[in-house]
Amino acid sequence: MSDRILPEERLIFAMDVPNTDRARALATELGDSVRFYKLGLELMMSGGYFELLDWLVASDKQVFVDLKFFDVPATVASAVRRLNNRGITFTTVHGNQSIMESAAEAKGDVKILAVTVLTSLDRGDLDDLGFACNVEDLVLSRARRALEAGCDGVVSSGLEAPRLREFIDHRLLVVTPGIRPVDNRPADDQKRVVSVEQAFSNGADYIVVGRPIRDADSPREAAEGIQKSIAKSFAAA
């Protein structure tokens, strides 16, 4: 785990809302309780994605472009280059060694995160996809390949973070989604989840939180509560 990251910047809010008007309103409501935003496919398809991105950067926020690029290597490289010099911190790629290598070569000032195994997948899902290994072994294999390809980090469940820290170079950033400060709701599609405290104890550098903030009665209070948990985790370290 990197100790050079400010505790208040370790929370990444997943801005999974229908349109950019709602995104701007929510970011305004959250104010200084959130310093880092993840912008994904839903917002990309709604229009105004890059205008929102530029607005967040101009507001001194960090931005994670989570579009999980997966295409022929040259196309992925071209897409990543379009993100250079815009104040973006992270972007994500899927795929094999050549895709990751092409993204890493084109990254410029953007850090490349390789997706390991989505937190919405479990052992049964991997069986359906034809993977014979268990989840931890697959995550570890993909993380090793990501480091060899020149990626800066991985997106991984907090459940696998301890093995990543044990067997992979500590220069590799670990960004952990599937964070649930409270018990999952019945409609939740995340399967491999951890708490805020468990994620950082296991070795995560950043956590990604969406619904527990977005769907709270007071999103700002929810974010502030998570920030307090993060601060407590690092004060005790």
Among all residues, which ones are annotated catalytic?
68
User: 118: Cβ–Cβ under 8 A, 6 or more apart, which residues?
Assistant: none
Determine the straight-line distance between the first and last CA of the chain, rounded to whole angstroms. 11
CA–CA separation, 46 and 183 (whole Å):
30
Whether 140 and 168 have beta carbons less than 8 Å apart is answered as yes
Locate the DSSP E strands across the chain.
11-14, 36-39, 62-69, 90-93, 111-115, 153-155, 173-176, 206-209
